[in-house]
């Protein structure tokens, strides 16, 4: 975040930002993270509202912090607002992006879930829920794989892979508290061991 | 784990219970909440069984929006309608959001420190393992899948190859692979 961006946002710009996130929300099958490429195009390349390093830091910090990953969207809104003024515009940016990314998808999910639950005894509904199970589990392994490989992409290090695999086995087979493992991971990383 | 000691027996007491439960959940979930949600709701609170969890998650996954947020919304809505859905959603987002903004302000001051980047990387590796472990735990449910264990595992492996290894877009993999799996399951289960 060395290079600073300074600009002002008109109401039309805020509206544009809001509309963009409403649209991304509808496209975000598989989670908001699956639309990050599109966010990068819009925020960094097209409008220059974020620097590339602000964009990457928004994702990295949200990944490392507690809470759902979608909060990286809030950090992007925060940084856009900060670039466009100060604390108050930053908070407004959080509001615009988070409401935008959540409103369409939550409404649709709520309605679909209510319908599905009312009709849960129908054969197609049962077939869908049960039939999707192997794919759902496959997606979990894929996410794990993607995260592990994107971590080690800059460093190409087998140590990060090893850490991820050991962590998986320990969590699978023991009852060690997750925070302890994260702390160990943070310390190993801090001292450059992994 | 036998199915007998993995029955859902309990449920949230009130929307407030949902709010606080999901707030606590979200605060424990570094690098994604899903693994913690599974552990907490299925194995500790027992609001749902592993099978129910996967079923709900299939819907949460197929709908647009963050999966974990969708899941919270659906569980809240199941017990207390719209009030419950909003309570669970608010619990998932509010406190973690405030915390995250504080972290971002702090980070802006210390961004240059090399140890910090290393620590983020180390935590990322553990988080990746965490999600893999969740997959391993849930994979035990494939033993009793209507398609039979072998075929169910086969679909799981194919899905991993398509999405994890080849990075094919979900919008193709889910309808094709998921569609075939659902169709075969439809034929297997009793009307």
The tens place of each residue's pLDDT in chain A, 194 residues long, gives 445 688 889 999 999 999 999 998 987 876 777 677 788 889 988 999 998 888 877 877 887 788 888 999 999 999 999 999 889 999 999 999 999 999 999 999 999 999 988 898 999 988 988 888 898 888 888 878 877 776 665 555 788 889 889 999 998 888 887 778 888 988 998 898 88
What pLDDT does B5 receive?
Answer: 47
- Partner-chain contact A127 B33, CB within 8 Å: no
Q: What is the mean pLDDT of residues B53-62?
A: 84
Confidence at B3, pLDDT banded by 50, 70, 90: very low
Partners of residue B36 in chain A, C-beta under 8 Å: 178
What pLDDT does A30 receive?
Answer: 64
Which of B66, B120, B133 has its CB closest to that of A68?
B66
A14 CB-near residues (< 8 Å, 6+ apart): A92, A96
Partners of residue A117 in chain B, C-beta under 8 Å: 78
Which of A66, A133, A141 has its CB closest to that of B132?
A141
Which of B58, B68, B100 has its CB closest to that of A65?
B100
Q: SS3 for A66?
A: strand
Q: Tell me: pLDDT of B72 over 60.
A: yes
Tokens describing residue B16: 């407030």
What pLDDT does A111 receive?
Answer: 94
Residue holding tokens 């990953």?
A: A69
Q: How far is CA B88 from the centre of its chain?
A: 14
Q: How many CB atoms are closer than 10 A to CB B136? A: 17
Q: With helix as H, strand as E and coil as C, how does chain B read?
A: CCCHHHCCCCCCCCHHHHHHHHHHHHHHCECCCHHHHHHHHHHHCCCCCHHHHHHHHHHHHHCECCHHHHHHHHHHHHHHHHHHHHHHHHHHHHHHHHHHHHHHHHHHHHCCCHHHHHHHHHHHHHHHHHHHHHHHHHHHHHHHCCCCHHHHHHHHHHHHHHHHHCCCCHHHHHHHHHHHHHHHHHHHCCC
- Partner-chain contact B128 A167, CB within 8 Å: yes
Nearest CA in chain B to A168: B129
More confident residue, B64 or A99: A99
> Distance from B67 to chain A by nearest Cα, in Å?
6
Q: SS3 for A166?
A: helix
- Partner-chain contact B160 A67, CB within 8 Å: no
Partners of residue B90 in chain A, C-beta under 8 Å: none
- Dist. CA B28–CA B55, nearest whole Å: 23
- Dist. CA B55–CA A132, nearest whole Å: 8
> Distance from B7 to chain A by nearest Cα, in Å?
17
Verdict on whether the full-model pTM lies above 0.95: no
Q: pLDDT of B130-185, one tens digit each?
A: 878 888 988 988 999 999 999 999 999 999 999 888 878 777 887 899 999 999 99
Nearest CA in chain B to A134: B156
What pLDDT does A137 receive?
Answer: 87
Q: pLDDT of B35-56, one tens digit each?
A: 788 888 888 889 998 888 888 8
What pLDDT does B31 receive?
Answer: 58
**Check: complex ipTM more than 0.95:** no
> Distance from B172 to chain A by nearest Cα, in Å?
11
Partners of residue A182 in chain B, C-beta under 8 Å: 30-31, 123, 126-127
- Partner-chain contact A142 B164, CB within 8 Å: yes
> Distance from B68 to chain A by nearest Cα, in Å?
7
DSSP tag of A29: B
Angle between helices A178-190 and A158-173 (to 10 degrees): 160
Q: pLDDT of B81-135, one tens digit each?
A: 999 999 999 999 999 999 999 988 888 788 778 888 788 788 878 878 887 888 8
Confidence at B17, pLDDT banded by 50, 70, 90: very high
What pLDDT does B56 receive?
Answer: 87
> Measuring CA to CA, how many Å separate A186 from each of A64, A170, A181, B126?
10, 16, 9, 9
Q: Which of A136-145, B16-25, B40-49, B60-69 has the highest mean pLDDT?
A: B16-25
8 Å CB contact between B44 and B63: no
Gyration radius (Cα) of chain A, Å? 20
């Amino acid at each position: 975040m060395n290079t600073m961006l300074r600009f002002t946002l008109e109401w039309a710009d805020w509206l544009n930002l809001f509309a963009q996130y409403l649209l991304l929300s509808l496209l975000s099958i598989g989670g908001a993270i699956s639309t990050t490429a599109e966010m990068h195009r819009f925020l960094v390349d097209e409008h220059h509202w974020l620097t590339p390093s602000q964009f990457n830091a928004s994702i990295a910090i949200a990944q490392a912090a507690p809470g759902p990953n979608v909060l990286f969207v809030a950090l992007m809104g925060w940084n856009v607002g900060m670039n466009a003024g100060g604390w108050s515009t930053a908070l407004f940016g959080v509001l615009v992006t988070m409401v935008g990314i959540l409103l369409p998808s939550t409404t649709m999910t709520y309605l679909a879930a209510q319908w599905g639950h009312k009709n849960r005894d129908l054969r197609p509904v049962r077939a869908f829920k049960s039939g999707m199970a192997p794919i759902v589990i496959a997606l979990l392994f894929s996410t794990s794989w993607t995260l592990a490989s994107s971590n080690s992409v800059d460093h190409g290090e087998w140590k990060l892979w090893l850490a991820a695999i050991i962590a998986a086995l320990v969590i699978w087979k023991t009852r060690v508290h997750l925070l302890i493992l994260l702390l160990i991971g943070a310390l190993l990383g801090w001292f450059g061991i992994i | 784990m036998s199915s007998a000691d993995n029955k859902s027996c309990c449920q949230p007491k009130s929307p407030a219970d949902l709010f606080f439960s999901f707030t606590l959940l979200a605060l424990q979930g570094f690098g994604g909440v899903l693994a913690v949600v599974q552990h907490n709701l299925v194995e500790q609170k027992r609001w749902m069984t592993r099978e129910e969890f996967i079923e709900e998650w299939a819907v949460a996954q197929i709908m647009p929006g963050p999966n974990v947020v969708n899941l919270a919304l659906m569980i809240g809505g199941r017990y207390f309608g719209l009030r419950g859905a909003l309570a669970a959603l608010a619990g998932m987002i509010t406190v973690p959001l405030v915390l995250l903004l504080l972290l971002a302000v702090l980070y802006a001051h210390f961004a240059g420190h090399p140890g910090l980047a290393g620590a983020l990387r180390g935590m990322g590796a553990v988080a990746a393992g965490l999600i893999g472990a969740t997959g391993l735990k849930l994979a035990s449910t494939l033993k009793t899948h209507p398609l039979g264990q072998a075929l169910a595992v086969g679909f799981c492996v194919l899905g991993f190859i398509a999405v994890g290894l080849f990075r094919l877009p979900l919008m193709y993999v889910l309808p094709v692979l998921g569609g075939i799996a659902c169709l075969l399951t439809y034929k297997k289960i009793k009307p």
